[in-house]
Amino acid sequence: MSKNIETFIGCDSDYRDARAVIFGAPFDSTTSYRPGTRFASRTMRMESFGLETYSLYQDKDMEEIAVFDGGDLELCFGDTPKALAQIEAFTREILADHKLPVMIGGEHLVTLGAVRAVVSQYPDLHVIHFDAHADLRDDYLGVTLSHASVMHRVWDLVGDHKIFQFGIRSGDRSEFLWGKDHVTTQKFNFNGLAEVVKPLQDKPVYFTLDLDVLDPSIFPGTGTPEAGGVGFLELLDAIQIVSKLNIVGCDLNELSPIYDQSGASTAVACKVLRELLLAIL
């Protein structure tokens, strides 16, 4: 008898055979409003068994692709640099084995750990960023390693005009002023996504998906719900477009199961992850 193995549904590949590796980054120490995203990956893994492996949208099945589920990193709480270093190291390991890292946050700051690893291998990295919040502050209450400044930190790494934001509908005025010169921001929706991705066809792209880009009607289970978001089918369409790029790393984050009493947000997150994996692989 072998020990009890738990994976996200359909992610049964051995590490060796896998093209992609999913893993959880259960960290939310810098969340300034409502914490709880640390529980996202384990809850998604558990609840994914309410989902089919087959997608009617894409007519593909998880059993036809090779994904390895590495479980959750054991991250410390309260020491952000240390936690980010753990994430970076694990992502490097996946990249070194020529596999696609697919991280489940956690708060959005975990993206920084993964991007550090990815950008070291792909210096010309571009970033597609779906989110309700701009996340462009230089610091939040004096803390520079903050969920609210994660895209500014990513910009530190990739530089001007490499970050493309969509769905943004909340932020400080100063963020948008700063952003104008450094990143491309599409407010409220995915308009223009098809055009934006055209020149990126031959670039390495990191795709970070803050699930709160979705409207709270379909995704209330997050720390900072922002009304006026995109719909589920709009998101699926946008993912299809992005998946045509050369994705070298990606993550989805900010599900907070504590605030998902009905379980519907977790089900949404699981379905998005399934569609994302099926689209990219």
Q: According to CB under 8 A, which residues from 257 to 276 bind its own copies?
A: 258-265, 267-268, 271
Determine if 28 is a binding residue for its own copies (CB under 8 A): yes
C-beta of 140 vs 159, nearer to its own copies: 140
Give the Cα separation of 40 and 64 in Å (integer): 25
Phi, psi of 221 (to 5 degrees): -80, 65
Give the Cα separation of 18 and 190 in Å (integer): 31
Closest by CA to 155, choosing from 174, 178, 177, is: 178
Give the Cα separation of 154 and 138 in Å (integer): 11
Determine if 35 is a binding residue for its own copies (CB under 8 A): yes
Q: Which residues contact 52 (CB under 8 A, 6 or more apart)?
A: none
| Interactions with its own copies, residue window 172-231 (CB under 8 A) | 172-173, 176, 187-188, 215-218, 220-221, 223-228
Size of the site for its own copies (CB under 8 A): 87
Among 40, 44, 75, 151, which residue sits at the site for its own copies (rule: CB under 8 A)? 75
Among 10, 20, 25, 31, which residue sits at the site for its own copies (rule: CB under 8 A)? 31
| Interactions with its own copies, residue window 110-139 (CB under 8 A) | none
Tell whether residue 133 is among the known ligand binding residues.
yes
Tell whether residue 172 is among the known ligand binding residues.
no
Tell whether residue 210 is among the known ligand binding residues.
yes
- Are 157 and 115 contacting, i.e. CB atoms less than 8 angstroms apart? yes
Determine if 57 is a binding residue for its own copies (CB under 8 A): yes
Determine if 69 is a binding residue for its own copies (CB under 8 A): yes
Give the Cα separation of 197 and 77 in Å (integer): 37
